[in-house]
Amino acid sequence: MQICSLRLCWALSTLLTIAQAIQVAPYLDTVQIGPYYARNCQSNNNIIATLLNTLRDVLQPVITDLGSSTSSDAYTTFFKDIANALYVREVFSNITKGVPAPPELGTPSWAPILICVDGRDQVTFSEDGRQVDAYTRCRILGEVPAMIFLKSPFIVICPVFFTHPGIPIQSTASCLTVDPHLNRFVQNGKSLIMYQLWYILHELVHYYVYATKESHLDIYGVNACLVLRSASAVLNAQSYVYYVANVWLGCTSFPPPRTRRPGRGGSVELLEMDSNMTALNANESIALVVQNVSIRAAPPVQTSRELDPDLTS
Ligand SMILES: *[C@@H]1O[C@H](CO)[C@@H](O)[C@H](O)[C@H]1NC(C)=O
Ligand SMILES: *[C@@H]1O[C@H](CO)[C@@H](O)[C@H](O)[C@H]1NC(C)=O
Ligand SMILES: *[C@@H]1O[C@H](CO)[C@@H](O)[C@H](O)[C@H]1NC(C)=O
Ligand SMILES: *[C@@H]1O[C@H](CO)[C@@H](O)[C@H](O)[C@H]1NC(C)=O
């Protein structure tokens, strides 16, 4: 098991490996929200429904942006190569539809299932031969808002998730500012993405990217995302989140593409990052990724009732 140090959590992936045999208590209440399932969210079902509905609306202009024949500045900033726009679009489109991940990967075909864990023995998985409780894991790095079990439909929503702000105010005033001399954003991007809406998006991106590419990346800081090659950016959940947040807020200020050589014309390369970029507290990491999950039994989805998305938005 690899747990990142406090200082590196933001920049490095917070991988937790070798999870197997995830078990979900069968008594947890299940609600269907559009194509998605929410389990054990109870009084928070409406919050989850609002987030999923908002996400669907937020993604529409993004999907449009990705359908155009030229790259927008936001796309170029985070994904670079327009050749990948179709794939990125497919990820977002599948999120809006809650498409079940293809079963070929050894996973039963399920739309993502969000499980609000608020106590022990609700979700457990075996890791390094020990059975680990997701509730405990929610707290192991301080306070983790959410985690995803790769190769399974399960996304765990931890208790602290609900203490974060839900949906950002849609205003260009929230955009990050660019330092033209350093050719990078002034901030590390935290202010943009520490919202429930973006945590959910982050996990859902992992879900679809892993289902189609069997790989994932967790680079969090916005300036670290800027330097990813296109092929890496499409694996990195947070690159998608920054891109969507920038489109949605209407941001127009991005560091120019890296065409100049380091040191020329007073500009330095992005790779010269200061240590602040990676220095974030443990409880500011977005999500844990739990790999190598095998599902012992198909997830029991007994729909007890359905929330009408249109009534809850
Ligand atoms: C996942 O499992 C495979 C074989 O079951 C193993 O080779 C691989 O190292 C595991 N990956 C991780 C990250 O634990
Ligand atoms: C999106 O869904 C379609 C249809 O189910 C599937 O063929 C495709 O692989 C999915 N792509 C992604 C990126 O999730
Ligand atoms: C780095 O972090 C310190 C302490 O949080 C802060 O005072 C300083 O302004 C930061 N530097 C940059 C370049 O952001
Ligand atoms: C976690 O965040 C809270 C504020 O949200 C802060 O008071 C606390 O010190 C942080 N814990 C760690 C371990 O950084």
CB 139 within 8 A of CB 280: no
Shortest-distance ligand to the CA of residue 1: 1
Q: Does 2 contact ligand 1 (Cβ within 6 A)?
A: no
In this prediction, residue 275 carries a pLDDT of 37
For residue 310, the surrounding DSSP H or E stretch is helix 309-312
In this prediction, residue 291 carries a pLDDT of 58
Q: Say how far apart CA 12 and CA 83 lie, in whole Å.
A: 27
User: Helix 196-213 and helix 85-97: axis angle, to 10°?
Assistant: 120
Q: Say how far apart CA 234 and CA 290 lie, in whole Å.
A: 19
Q: Tell the residue nearest (CA) to atom 3 of ligand 4.
A: 283
Q: Say how far apart CA 56 and CA 108 lie, in whole Å.
A: 24
Q: Tell the residue nearest (CA) to atom 13 of ligand 1.
A: 17
CA 292 to ligand 1 centroid distance, Å: 6
Measured CA to CA in angstroms, residue 141 lies from 213, 293, 312 at distances of 28, 20, 33
Nearest one of 278, 247, 145 to 203, comparing CA atoms: 145
CA 206 to ligand 2 centroid distance, Å: 13
**DSSP code at position 103:** G
CB 41 within 8 A of CB 122: no
Q: Does 144 contact ligand 4 (Cβ within 6 A)?
A: no
Q: Does 208 contact ligand 2 (Cβ within 6 A)?
A: yes
Quote the distance between the C-alpha of residue 183 and its chain's center: 26
Number of the ligand 1 atom closest to the C-alpha atom of 292: 1
CA 14 to ligand 4 centroid distance, Å: 18
Which residues in the chain come in under a pLDDT of 70?
1-20, 102-109, 141-142, 258-313
In this prediction, residue 105 carries a pLDDT of 47
Instruction: List pLDDT tens digits, range 261-304.
Output: 444 443 433 333 333 333 333 334 455 566 555 444 344 443 43
- Our CA angle for 215, 221, 222, nearest 5°, is 100
283: number of CA atoms within 13 Å, CB side? 9
In this prediction, residue 292 carries a pLDDT of 55
Q: Say how far apart CA 304 and CA 70 lie, in whole Å.
A: 46
Q: Is the dihedral of CA 40, 239, 109, 305 positive or negative?
A: positive
pTM for the model stands at 0.76
In this prediction, residue 127 carries a pLDDT of 78
String of DSSP letters for 32-61: EETTEEEES-GGGHHHHHHHHHHHHHHHHH
For residue 139, the surrounding DSSP H or E stretch is helix 134-140
Q: Name all residues whose Cβ lies below 6 A of ligand 3.
A: 274, 276
**DSSP code at position 173:** G
In this prediction, residue 122 carries a pLDDT of 95
Q: Tell the residue nearest (CA) to atom 1 of ligand 4.
A: 283
Q: Does 294 contact ligand 1 (Cβ within 6 A)?
A: no
